[in-house]
Amino acid sequence: MSLRHAVLGLLAESPASGYDLMKLFNVSLAGVWPATQSQVYGELTKLTTAGLVEVAAHGPRGRKEYAITEDGLAELRHWLTDVEPSGPQRHDGLLRVFFLGILTPLEAQTYLLHQAERAARSRAKLEHLEETAEWDEEMISVYGRIALEYGLRISAMQEEWARWAAEEVTSAKARKASELARAQHKGQDEGPQKEDRAGEGQ
């Protein structure tokens, strides 16, 4: 339901059209909770039906400006104060780390260094945003800057961890575990071939 509350949160600061909301998403929320134009407009329709937002003004070419209602503000406050955040439940990149022993140490190291580079690029983008964004006194700007700091710190940590892990997978302990895992599967692959050769001699 976070898209619903993202829209309510943006409208809590000021009324906006669907077009305005998409611009706000792209400059503020896209890195946290991306949304397409059809999703945002669809959510506006649902929120209007539910009485959480209302059409506050009509403009040229069918433009509608939406505003949050008292019920919508109450729902937003309820979500902020009473609903526990779900947090990241799945991490595809970290899941793979558990099974890097199937690869050679060089392959595992290459994978991890690639993750380090991705984190570095992500941090560079956030640093560029920090330098170029027009930070003002409005709510989304002030608290958006606080959220941006999270991204900066997390990406720095991810890069540091990935470079550390790239060294760890070349350690003697990791090499031994990797060799044992690959040897086990190598034996399984050769098993049917050995049986075939044995049958040929009968």
The predicted pLDDT at position 35 comes to 86
> Higher-confidence residue: 182 or 64?
64
Q: How far is CA 127 from CA 4, 116, 119, 156, 163, in A?
A: 28, 16, 12, 11, 20
Residue 115 — very low, low, confident or very high, per pLDDT cuts 50/70/90? very high
User: What is the three-class DSSP state of 17?
Assistant: strand
pLDDT at 195: 47
Burial of 64: CB neighbours in 10 Å, binned 0-12, 13-18, 19+: middle
Which residues, at least 6 apart from 104, have a Cβ–Cβ distance to it below 8 Å? Answer: 178, 182
Find out whether 169 and 109 touch, Cβ atoms under 8 Å: yes
Q: Which of 5-9, 39-43, 117-121, 193-197 has the lowest mean pLDDT?
A: 193-197
Model pLDDT, residue 1: 56
Least confident of 66-70, 134-138, 193-197: 193-197
Alpha-carbon distance of 1 to 99, in angstroms, equals 33
Tell whether the model's pLDDT for residue 192 goes beyond 60: no
Alpha-carbon span 47 to 44, nearest angstrom: 5
Over residues 116-156, the pLDDT tens digits come to: 999 999 999 999 988 988 888 888 889 989 999 999 999 99
pLDDT tens, 27-57? 888 778 888 899 999 999 999 999 999 999 9
